[in-house]
Chain A
Amino acid sequence: MARYILGRVLSLLLVLFIVSVVTFFLMHQVPGGPFDETKAPLPPAAKENILRKYGLDKPIHIQYLNYMKNAVLHFDFGIPYQQPTTTVTALIAKSWKVTAQVGLMTVLLAFGAGIALGVYAAYHQNSWLDNVTTFIAMLGITVPSFVIAMWLILFFAVRLKWLPMGGWNASGTCLIGSAYICTDWIMPVLAYALGPLAIIARYTRSSVVDVMRQDFTRTARAKGLATKTIMLRHILRNALIPMVTALGVIIPNLLTGSIFIEAVFRINGLGKFFVTSIFNRDYPMIMALFLLIAFLWSLTYLFTDILYTWIDPRVRLGAEGGA
């Protein structure tokens, strides 16, 4: 086990290295730079000074090594060109909370509602709710989140005027009872969660149906256990094992999906910075965000693989194609 984890961590580091090299060299391929003279002509001495200040006058591999040294040792990813008064680390530190909030609520909704719907659909096959679930699943899997988001806006914000058009923690009615709930959370989380919710509901339904047909379920029923006990202790426990695989698919997609949700609902999180950084050719910011995403992405894969073997002892580690 330890050996397997070590191997996976090493390959994670290799991947991160390759991603960082590719990103770094690609970034420097970009036509034009942050100090384009078409926007503001500079005297040669001033330009030279600026280039020296940001280390842009050195050969590219030295620039890369400098960058990685600062990034790994000092957690210093440079200064964002779009906001030169702060650092990249500070900017990310400021905006990741919003993105994490959106993501966390989405995961909670997707797993909660997805598992509930899937179990219900499995127990009441071909009922109307089962058919509705199948339909929602189809919609959630095939239709992009920004399309769903647009429909929600058109219906709930434009037509009915029930919900705010966008924002996060910004709309006035933030207090309902004693709980801190914002009305502007509803649409982003709903639009964001529908895809994963659909996948989870589908997985859950088929694996619950599968486990319901197993011998041990029949035995449990035959010895007279309550339906609820059978569902919780026998069926759900086994049916949820494949959910770990779903987790491995969903979490990485959530990382990138946030870009779209934040764009539609004008949420000032990492996703928004991602887009503005690309428009502004903000190398340090793009670099840091790409590394962050690659890191989280590989970490999720590692984590779900380990979780899977921990939950299901039948899976053998290390074997080719076995895990």
Chain B
Amino acid sequence: MTVSAATRLDVARPEESRHRTLWHDAARRFLRNRLAVAGLAIVVFFLSLAVFADLVAPYPYDRVYYDRVLRFPFELAGHPLGTDEVGRDYLSRLIYGARTSMTVGIAVQMVAFVIGVPLGSLAGFVGGRTDFLISRFIDIMTAFPGLMFSILIISVWGGGITKVIFALSITSWIGIARLTRGQILSLREKEYVEAARCVGVSRNRIILRHLLPNALTPILVAISFGIPAAMFGEAGLSFLGIGINDPIPSWGKMVGVSNAYVRVYWHLALFPTVAVALSMLGFSFVGDGLRDALDPKMIE
């Protein structure tokens, strides 16, 4: 379904170059999309902040200066974005906050991929009772709000970054599994799969070599939208005060804490909210761009 018009013409080409053509086309379409490129720039910016936080941040995230509590931006030379309610450099905490946010976003989607894709393919390909069980399980999981599940898990096992990832992962794979199942269901009736089956290709090989590569693009798009969703989940939990624990910085938690100080210390609220909004916009632009680039049918 995602084979582009160009590749459909030269089916005779060896598999390697066909793959390169699809991705090459997609990259070209992606780079022509201005919003997608802007989004990519934002994502790269925050990702590098996350990776190189130790080098970029002027102070450790947990260093407390008792004599510099609640300073405004540029009030002190060493703290361009001011300090927080216990006297920690706000810029450094924002930078390390990127690390928290990105880690959770990416880790949760990795779990979603690792659980959702195998389960979805199994349900879609094997069918019958396996499909019934997995589908009903998915239905039941959908029948309850995902964020509520995470809150429930957190309230039972407590906060912290690994528990937040765990709590958000519990529901994150459902969409991926359902999507994969649908993809596999529609793809397995295609002629080329029938042909492969006729010449005696094994089930696993059909799934891995014929079905999954063709199902991959929509899954990829879903993952790219899932990352900001997971970041939202982390920010939300931390905002309520039940996500990331002190002293690890989290943008959501910084917003939540700032609520008590916002009347005077506006900078505590402004900077983390901008960080949350920018990073999520960036990831969404990339997701939109990827979707349009990978699905040639969208172009009209």
Contacts and interface: CB of A to CB of B under 8 A. Distances in A.
A19 B148 CA distance: 11
Interface in B235-251: 235-236, 239-242
A278 B143 contact: no
Contacts of B2: none
Contact of A142 (B139, B148, B256, B281): B281
Interface string B186-225: 0000000000000000000000000000000000000000
A143 B276 contact: yes
Interface of B: 139-140, 143-145, 147-148, 151-153, 155-158, 228, 232, 235-236, 239-242, 255-256, 258-259, 262-263, 266, 269-270, 273, 276-277, 280-281, 284
Interface in A1-59: 11-12, 14-15, 18-19, 23, 26-27, 29-31
Given A286-B155, A290-B148, A293-B145, A151 B273 contact: yes
A192 to B, nearest CB: 14
A231 to B, nearest CB: 26
Contacts of B153: 26
Contact of A150 (B156, B240, B259): B259
A151 B255 CA distance: 11
Contacts of A151: 273
Given A294-B143, A297-B144, A142 B266 contact: no
5 contacts: A15-B143, A31-B158, A144-B276, A150-B273, A301-B143
A254 to B, nearest CB: 11
A181 interface: no
B168 to A, nearest CB: 14
A15 B280 CA distance: 32
B172 to A, nearest CB: 16
Contact of B144 (A159, A264, A294): A294
Interface of A: 11-12, 14-15, 18-19, 23, 26-27, 29-31, 138-139, 141-144, 146-147, 150-151, 153-154, 158-159, 165, 252-253, 255-256, 259-260, 263-264, 274-275, 278-279, 281, 286, 290, 293-294, 297-298, 301
Given A11-B139, A253-B145, 18 more contacts: A15-B144, A27-B156, A30-B156, A139-B277, A142-B284, A144-B236, A144-B280, A146-B239, A147-B273, A153-B269, A158-B266, A165-B262, A256-B147, A263-B240, A275-B241, A278-B151, A286-B155, A294-B144
A159 B266 CA distance: 9
Contacts of A26: 152-153, 156
A146 B281 contact: no
B143 A297 contact: yes
Given A143-B280, A264-B259, A19 B144 contact: yes
A144 B235 contact: yes
A291 B145 CA distance: 11
Contacts of B277: 139, 142-143, 147
Contacts of B157: 29
9 closest pairs, A vs B, by CB?
Answer: A15-B143, A278-B155, A142-B284, A147-B273, A143-B277, A150-B273, A142-B280, A26-B156, A150-B269
Nearest to B242: A278
Contact of B145 (A144, A150, A256): A256
A194 to B, nearest CB: 12
Given A264-B259, A290-B148, A18 B232 contact: no
Given A26-B156, A29-B156, A147-B273, A142 B228 contact: yes
A31 to B, nearest CB: 8
A260 B240 contact: yes
B39 to A, nearest CB: 10
A1 to B, nearest CB: 21
A252 B152 contact: no
A279 B155 CA distance: 8
B11 to A, nearest CB: 31
Contacts of A260: 236, 239-240
A279 B158 CA distance: 10
Interface centre among B235, B239, B256, B280 (most CB of A within 10 A): B239
Nearest to A18: B140
